[in-house]
Amino acid sequence: MKIAVIGATGMVGREVTAEAVRRGHRVVAASRSGKPVESASAAEPAVVDLADAEAVSALAAKNDVLVFATGPSRTGGDHQEWLTASTRALEAVGSTPVLVVGGAGSLLIDGERLVDSPNFPEAYRPEALTLSALLEELRNAPAELNWTMISPSPMIAPGERTGSYTLGLDSPAGERISSQDFAVAILDEVENPQHAGRRFTAAN
């Protein structure tokens, strides 16, 4: 399978790239810098800016699936600009399946989004609200967009690749997940799609 990862140098993107290479896929590691992913030397580096819809369209045409592993900056930047660029990029992928890495803030507990709870960390709230808005845009997207979104557990960080995880839909499946096992869940969905047109989540 030919897989393109946009945002391949980020925490999740590099693990997805490495996991895809580990499984023998042909992988394009796309990012604004075009830097190679050290843990996945077999991946082909490519310079792709999310805001360049034409480049995203060309990437989609050459691959079997796209993984969007980019997100709004937590430390600054224009979130609306990122959201607009993401929307336009997704409009450009055509019929190529796309798996979007979302956030945990849109997950629900007793009908309430985590991002709306009083204990949600303020430092993460702007990012969570922007990713929640992207989920709503996907849910309202034209039927021809073949999308899936995966949200991590409320806590995600580099750790151990166990190959084991639990799935959920709109509510957290657990408290935490390693970025390595999150990548395993993503590649399992890429290889065997089970959540087309839906959001799901994974936890250790």
Domain boundaries, the chain: 2-203
Q: What is the pLDDT confidence band of residue 92, given thresholds at 50, 70 and 90?
A: very high
Asked if 188 contacts 16 with a C-beta cutoff of 8 angstroms, the reply is no
| Residue whose pair of structure tokens reads 């997704």 in the numeric block | 90
Q: What are phi and psi of 28, to 5 degrees?
A: -105, 120
Give the separation between CA 1 and CA 3, rounded to whole angstroms: 6
Give mean pLDDT, residues 98-125.
94
Taking 80 as the threshold, does the pLDDT of residue 153 lie above it? Answer: yes
Class of domain 2-203: alpha beta
pLDDT in tens, 13-37: 999 999 999 999 999 999 888 888 8
Q: Over pLDDT 70: what percentage of the chain?
A: 98
User: Is it the case that residue 93 has pLDDT exceeding 80?
Assistant: yes
Q: What does the pLDDT look like over 160-187, one tens digit per residue?
A: 999 999 999 999 999 999 999 999 999 9
Q: What is the pLDDT of residue 74?
A: 59
Chain mean pLDDT for the chain: 93
Query: Structure pTM?
Result: 0.94
What is the per-residue pLDDT for 36? 83
Q: Write phi, then psi, for 169 (nearest 5 degrees).
A: -110, -90
Mean pLDDT of 125-142: 94
Nearest to 156 by CA among 204, 195, 192: 204
Q: What is the pLDDT of residues 34-80, one digit of tens each?
A: 888 877 889 999 999 888 999 999 999 999 999 999 988 755 568 89
pLDDT at res. 54: 94
Q: Give dist(CA 185, CA 192) in Å, integer.
A: 10
